[in-house]
Structure 1
């Protein structure tokens, strides 16, 4: 110890006869004063000047408390939606939802007889199992579009292209005779 250190800590008899709590208070105040001169702040909940503050110190809570917090476990669906939004995948996810949730979007009865085949530029191609179902779907096209917009989102599907069953090709080989082929409705 140096003579300078001895000057800071005086024996109790040199502190003016202080004892007990008064002595503790005086020593604590002297320690705080010495710490302030060295750039440190002790006690009383004071923060250091911004230049001396450690990055992130005191800015983060260490407990989440009773309310929801971003560090709490998140449901998978919510986390997936956030990821899709951040990555810009939301339109593609909405398009995929048309195909993935087709029975719930249009109803079980329509889903049994018609299936979506493609979605390009807002035009949903739907293949019906018979020409009668294709005609029926064309008549209720506005209601189907409204159901899709309500379930998946507005603007994902702007119009429907409804087709009936496709007849098999009768052209076999390189040579063929012109004409319509057998006269059957195929559905």
Structure 2
């Protein structure tokens, strides 16, 4: 069928409007039927088109998902669950150990199940060492088992006199006085 001129009706006049649409639909049906006949002759199977069904009243994968569920699935697929649960220790530190302990301590690193905690003073470092079992239990209850297996407690750090990449060994700034 030539697209440049409209088809003619039974009386020879060019078609327009609804008659033109009907003629185009009929031509498309004929082409489709011819293609199906060609496929049957070649031995190819024609599969009936499957209608896409609705999910119904129950939940389905095609339904909109809550953001938290999608984030949890992505974290599980990519193996991020351990890192995320370790991050929960840092985020929930005051709730896990209590406000008084959290005021004087802070978690520094979590690597291979060992949590390094820095205390504000040596007295608080000793206190943390004494409370270590209770803190491990509270962390496992609040975040999950085996996220933290050991706690390494550090006291307050002394100031460092090393500045920059190069260093000369010695006693530090005291060796220039006197």
TM range (shorter): 0.5 to 0.7
Structure 1 residue ranges, 4+ long, deviating more than 3 angstroms after superposition? 169-175
Give the structure-2-normalised TM-score.
Answer: 0.61
The separation in 1 between residues aligned to 2:118 and 2:151, in whole angstroms, is 10
Partner residue of 2:118 out of 117, 127, 148: 127
How far did residue 142 of structure 1 move? 0.6
Q: Give the gaps of 5 or more residues in structure 2.
A: 1-36, 38-44, 173-178
Q: Give the gaps of 5 or more residues in structure 1.
A: 1-37, 39-50, 178-187
Give the structure-1-normalised TM-score.
Answer: 0.58
How far did residue 170 of structure 1 move? 6.5
Aligned to 1:12: none
Cα 1:83–1:135, aligned 2, differ >3 Å: closer, same or farther? same
Partner residue of 2:47 out of 53, 66, 76: 53
Aligned to 1:107: 98
How many residues align structurally? 125
Cα deviation code 1:101-157 (max 9, x no counterpart):
222232322221111101111110000111111111111101111111112211111
The separation in 2 between residues aligned to 1:124 and 1:148, in whole angstroms, is 11
Aligned to 2:156: 165
The separation in 1 between residues aligned to 2:69 and 2:99, in whole angstroms, is 27
Greater Rg by CA: 1
